[in-house]
Structure 1
Amino acid sequence: MVVRSINTDGGISGVHVVAMPYPGQGHINPMMNLCKRLASFGDLLITFVVTEEWLSFILSSAGSATPPSNLRLRSLPNVIPSERARADDFPAFVEAVYTKMEEPFERLLDQLEPAVSAIVADSYLPWAVAVGNRRDIPVASLWPMAASVFSMLYHSDVVAEHHPFPIPISEVGKEYVDYIPGVPRIRLADLPTMFHSSTAVDLMRWIKESFKMVPKATWLLLNSCEELEASAVDAIRSLLPSRVHPIRPFTLPPSPSQEKAGFVASYRAEVDCSAWLDGRPPNSVLYVSLGSFMSVSAPQVVEIAFGLRASGCPFLWIAREQDWLAKEDFDGKGLVVPWCRQMNVLSHPSVGGFFTHCGWNSTTEGISAGVPFLTFPIAADQTCNSKMIVEDWKIGLRVRGSNMGSCDDELVGREKIAEMVREVMDLDRKSSKEMRRRGRELREALNRAGQRGGSSDVSFDWFLNQVKAKRRAADLRLPV
């Protein structure tokens, strides 16, 4: 096993927290931002653990940036398939994560000094809770998605009592579900695709293993806040009394400048788009990004390209592995790049809208920027995030997922895309004005939650104080 570190312990003593994220970009970055926040309290030592492959990605993306002196990186062997091929056989990747990482993680714990005070592990790594319990180390289970999605998956058996599982996509139709605790009325089609995808049985089996271990963790940290999902947070608290802590979307750094100097996980070279954005009027540019993992079909990429061109709106498009798009000039109005620092772009004054796959990190970052959304969910939790954006918060429009049936089967034409882009980006339209007004209100509520004395700040302090107390896990754990 290779063990590497960016920096030494720097003489730090006291509480030692080990962080173990799920090996995917949408999971590693929220965990890293949480750890940077923990490390801002100088009397904590944070050991951040990733695979050798992900360590190389983080080091290459960091450039000359260095982490806080009390945050160090360690690695596990590459016992799982490469991130670059993760989407090729996702069920096999998930199985490897669940079955092959526990043993090398436990061997690493044996080598770490000082003694580990607490573990923070992604909720999709149930074996980390088991390791902590065996060693009498308290474990914080970090849920990386929306609180509403937690409730949907936690109560999957309740859904199965009403509908066959997996739910045949031909039977989804427009039927609504109103019995999931903390979740407003939602269409079957808007539930996470794990409920009705072709790989649902295999994936849900592993997901259920994760949820069996969540109650055995000392704490549950939610990557959300009461201001976004009050009913879902309350429902989860009723399941796990006194142990649930919504700690603001900690995917969000305190400021774009601090994010630029920090660590992010990505294996794609980033392009600095600030000069191009600087030359555009305020709120004029549509930012288009469909995530780091799943892809849309080639015909759909073509329809998006022609739709954006026809809209007449300036746009910045993050198009992975689509070299032909970068060669198009789009009448001088479009810039296509393979990757960028998303929060920097969303925070730029020229950006006035977000065409997104609705991953939870992207959703919270868009809310933090206060921009309206065009939702284009692809898979997993993105369908229900899209529903919340459009129906619950009313800060966006659906581009995809508005019809019954699978997202995979829905080809959205260029005419519809062009019209919806114009509707969101036309600052004089009543609908656009209303979405922007509500977006500003939600952004302000999110910021208040993270400010000193806000709901999430208080929750974070409570968790931090318990970790610092270094009490035994048995003394902290409450009966479920």
Structure 2
Amino acid sequence: MKHHHFIIISLPIQGHINPTLQLAKNLSRAGARCTFVTTVNGFRELNDLPSIDGLFYASISDGNDGAAKMDFGDYLKQLKRVGSENLKKLIDKYAGDGHPVTCLVYTFIWPWVAEVAREINLPSAFLAIQSATAFAIYHHLFSINNNGVYSSTSEIELSFPIKLPELPLFLRDDIPSFLLQNDPYSSFMIPVMREHIQNLEHDPNPRVLINTFDKLEEKSLKILDKIGICSIGPLVPSAFLDGNELEDKSFGGDLFEKSETYCQWLDSKPECSVVYVAFGSIAVVKEEQKEEVLQGLLESERPFLWVIRSSKEDDKKKNDEIYGLNGKGMIVPWCSQIEVLFHKSIGCFVSHCGWNSTLESTVAGVPLIGVPQLSDQMTNIKMVEEVWGTGVRARVEEGGGGIVKREELKRCLEVLMGDGEKGNEIRRNVKKYRDLAMEAVKVGGSSHNNLNKFLESL
């Protein structure tokens, strides 16, 4: 595999960086040369980048190296125009240095990378960093071959339920939010997803790597088998999965500074007693929702570790005050989530249900309470609750402004951490999928074999 040189390109968003950088680490350890690429401005923000033989880093200009505020739709157009030229220059540079690129791997928001690859006659692969189920919904809606509702540029209102073979019916609140015309991101995300799907359909040899594993999403993967889909997940540090690289305990490439104070606090708590709360790196949670979560946690009388991103000094002081309330909880600005989930004291995860968080809780065997905010999170909690049985969705009251009330959070906590039969069943299910995830990445497992088949296809 020494002759392979992958460029793996990602937006500087934590939820994109984690799986792409983990794939780069995995390929490098297998003997390939990998160059992880992001934007110039994003690269400046990365901390603790892994140092591994065969893994290199580079950045390309997106035309906004000064990080000026831009409308995101305008930014995507500029990224395509400027980024495509700079990516080609980077590829030329490596060819001149004696390290020719043999494959481009790209993620969401970069559909034009496939066009660059075709233009210069390079193989490319789309790394899908959301679930196979979300991807199946996109394919259903955007595919020209299937006459998808969104396959043309016309704006058509979706009708519900959406029916996919062998999957539950998807209602309006179950699909990725940007697929709805009234969503603020729909005007630029719908065209981007259309471009992604139709680029793959135009490719005579499409390759899709997806961060999931066969036993978790077998039916969704079956729907997608005609577009060269290849499950290679979970893309999680090796120490928590196959154990082949015990020093690989974090993703690396953090955009936020981690607190170091929570480990001893967790060590002091009984097994499976702590509620871990985190809503990701993008969503801004309303103050009213924060207050309901806080009161629900305090009234549940269970210790909790809560990640609240803080940038302003006033916010940090406020969090310190909350931290001290009744001595029941701890609030930190950022943490190593995968390490926290694997800590023996964690009994439940209250999450926005981003796909990385959903997979990580599964791998750790921690049941999940879903409080979805946007994007594919609605689809993920649908599958968690109705198909895999590894958690529950916290319900919002009709006319309640989309806020999960404290009483509902307490109810969910009692279900997952109490002694009832439903909680016992959820804990059994999540442990079952934890074991299946570990089997998938071992030598001879489905994800291990799929990655090898992908490499052989190049």
TM range, smaller chain: 0.7 to 0.9
User: AA paired with 1:310?
Assistant: E
SS at match of 2:340: helix
Residue number among 250, 253, 256 corresponding to 2:238 in the alignment: 253
Say whether residues 1:207 and 2:193 are aligned partners: yes
Whole-angstrom distance in 2 between the partners of 1:102 and 1:443: 40
Partner of 1:7: none
- Within a 5 Å distance, the mapping from 1:214-363 to structure 2 comes to 214-215=200-201, 216=203, 218-237=206-225, 239-240=226-227, 243-255=228-240, 258=246, 263-272=251-260, 273-321=262-310, 322-323=315-316, 324-328=318-322, 329-363=324-358
C-alpha distance 198-433 of structure 1, shift in aligned 2 (>3 A):
same
Say whether residues 1:419 and 2:416 are aligned partners: no
Instruction: Please report the TM-score for the alignment, with normalisation by the length of structure 1.
Output: 0.84
Question: Contact 2:41/2:65 (CA < 8 Å) preserved in 1?
Answer: no
C-alpha distance 99-251 of structure 1, shift in aligned 2 (>3 A):
farther
User: AA paired with 1:61?
Assistant: D
**Identical counterparts, % of pairs:** 28
User: AA paired with 1:124?
Assistant: I
Question: Contact 1:138/1:218 (CA < 8 Å) preserved in 2?
Answer: no
Whole-angstrom distance in 2 between the partners of 1:131 and 1:72: 21
Question: Contact 1:357/1:382 (CA < 8 Å) preserved in 2?
Answer: yes
Residue number among 363, 370, 378 corresponding to 2:365 in the alignment: 370
Residue number among 116, 120, 125 corresponding to 1:140 in the alignment: 125
SS at match of 1:119: strand
Whole-angstrom distance in 1 between the partners of 2:389 and 2:65: 39
SS at match of 1:308: helix
Say whether residues 1:109 and 2:91 are aligned partners: yes
User: AA paired with 2:394?
Assistant: V
Partner of 1:76: 60
Whole-angstrom distance in 2 between the partners of 1:281 and 1:137: 53
SS at match of 1:155: helix
Higher RCO structure, 1 or 2 (CA under 8 Å, sep 6+): 1
Task: Tell me how far 1:84 sits from its aligned partner.
Answer: 10
C-alpha distance 122-134 of structure 1, shift in aligned 2 (>3 A):
same
Task: Tell me how far 1:444 sits from its aligned partner.
Answer: 0.9
Partner of 2:145: none
Whole-angstrom distance in 2 between the partners of 1:84 and 1:327: 34
1:438-464 superposed Cα distances (whole Å, 9 cap, x missing partner): 111111111111111111111111112
Whole-angstrom distance in 1 between the partners of 2:407 and 2:68: 34
C-alpha distance 41-384 of structure 1, shift in aligned 2 (>3 A):
same
Whole-angstrom distance in 1 between the partners of 2:327 and 2:71: 39
Task: Tell me how far 1:281 sits from its aligned partner.
Answer: 0.3
Whole-angstrom distance in 1 between the partners of 2:48 and 2:281: 15
Whole-angstrom distance in 1 between the partners of 2:103 and 2:85: 18
Task: Tell me how far 1:403 sits from its aligned partner.
Answer: 6.1
User: AA paired with 2:56?
Assistant: R
Partner of 2:162: 177
Partner of 1:188: 172
Question: Contact 2:111/2:199 (CA < 8 Å) preserved in 1?
Answer: yes
- In structure 2, the gaps of 5 or more residues are 143-147
Question: Contact 1:282/1:351 (CA < 8 Å) preserved in 2?
Answer: yes
Question: Contact 2:5/2:101 (CA < 8 Å) preserved in 1?
Answer: yes
C-alpha distance 404-93 of structure 1, shift in aligned 2 (>3 A):
farther
- Within a 5 Å distance, the mapping from 1:426-465 to structure 2 comes to 426=418, 428-465=419-456
Task: Tell me how far 1:414 sits from its aligned partner.
Answer: 1.7
Whole-angstrom distance in 2 between the partners of 1:61 and 1:25: 13
Whole-angstrom distance in 2 between the partners of 1:244 and 1:419: 39
Whole-angstrom distance in 2 between the partners of 1:335 and 1:84: 35
Instruction: Please report the TM-score for the alignment, with normalisation by the length of structure 2.
Output: 0.88
User: AA paired with 1:127?
Assistant: W
How many residue pairs are counted as aligned between the two chains? 434
Task: Tell me how far 1:53 sits from its aligned partner.
Answer: 2.4
Query: Considering only aligned residues, what root-mean-square deviation do their CA atoms show, in Å?
Result: 2.6
1:14-67 superposed Cα distances (whole Å, 9 cap, x missing partner): 22111112332211210110110100123x211111112222222x334xxx42
Partner of 2:107: 122
1:54-100 superposed Cα distances (whole Å, 9 cap, x missing partner): 22222x334xxx42121110111252488896xx8544444444443
Say whether residues 1:51 and 2:39 are aligned partners: yes
Whole-angstrom distance in 1 between the partners of 2:275 and 2:67: 29
